[in-house]
Structure 1
């Protein structure tokens, strides 16, 4: 059942917009899909290596700003009288640069923090996210600070033989996000099913044993952090070109908390868990908004999370997997040894 679940979800999500006429709901699905990609990237660290990144939104925001600035262009002064002028490039180039630069930042953070793991990694990621937020807020000449970057162009892709395609409508952006999410899922599945994935799980489950068989902990965790950050940067790029306005609020800590909730409730360390958690906790506020006040919405949101974790401590996906497992027949009683007659 669990093997067919991802395919069934993909088919349902691919057909969903065909019968959906409400643009508000379609917008909610798009933003939920973007943050689900972020949750999948976080799961690569939290679920498969056991490393909690509480500054993961930093890579999402870096991807958003890099992609937006690459597309818009900029003219900024640097120390020693230097000046950098950049003419706008196609949004597809911004997407690629967002992935590369976010991944590079993940590599730097990983190299600095994974030599001394545990709480140090959490502290480094939180500090990094706050530093990046302050840079975005105060470097007004480059980022416009609280005034925000506006008029970010729509995502545009050049298709061989078909010319250029601009993703202007919600339907087009929905399928773009679904396509990137599917590629991200397949990449993670391939990664965790490889020898590298076994090394990640080994470090999470028994690090001394993994080290004793030759696993390079720092290298493995750094690569995982790099891939995770690059994927979060891709989500940030999609967000920038869909919303078309970016300000320092994109680095809010609450976004990281939302991704953590999606991962933990869906089932960390599972492929489909962040997708299920993302759909539930991304769409739940949308479902509650018409029927109750904002304060009550947050109460129901928190109560839903508590109930899920109380009933299914390992998350929804592992609970569904357990339902599909065949029940073991009780073991037959062992025959008693024959006693010698007196």
Structure 2
């Protein structure tokens, strides 16, 4: 452990002690990995130094770099599509290959990062997260590497058609009218037209933009396909798309916690979504990674200390603060698998 000034603090360093504000409120807990946004937060609170571990969390930094590069790439490509320019997917292909390489080595490697986004850039972050979730599913289904790369790329490009939807509809902070929803549904057709004309993009990849809102019972759009008539890639991306949308803040709707999103997918498994894929996906993804901040139904704020391999929604947590009442002077551990009165109700994103 060593003490460093804020100017010496670097991305990837790991906090060795809790950091508090001048008023005594917990700002960042021990074990948090430093990111640029956190350095800025420390500066805003006039924190001049912190204690960090001697070694960086190198692997986490690598995933963050890949995630950021993917965000920048998809943003550039989507803005090109919006401007009616020719879209070259070469950079996206290269970055997707990096994502897949990491996931093949360790499928949950990006789960700490997905979901950290701002509402204004929702579509871009959503595309990156769906690409990651789709790649995870591809590995769980034991697809070969080339298939996973194609699947992940298809997921990254699945919402390109939204660039052709009027801004006032795409970012409306209220429920769409029937007329507006009919226009929104056209993003599947617009997206297919854009993606299929990209250089080197196969029909299998392009059709995901068209078919990711199809549902097994025929209630989806635009073609109302049923069951196995919906291609595998589209069935996978449909699940990744809905899960990510439910667990993210949007202009018209607050996010829900992963367990509630899991309940939704489970309810419609076999009706809207492929049941086998839903079960495999949720078993992997619905968990709270070590180091993430959570809020309990008791108002306690905790950091996830250790995962529970038998029930990933009920980890061991370290309570470090409370939303109301006296401060927590001495943090304490709670094993949620043994405590039925407490449950996680939200995740705090920094």
Q: Same fold (TM over 0.5)?
A: no
TM-score by length of 1: 0.29
TM-score (normalizing by structure 2)? 0.28
The structure number with the bigger radius of gyration is 1
Higher relative contact order (CA 8 A, sep 6+): 1
Greater helix percent: which structure? 1
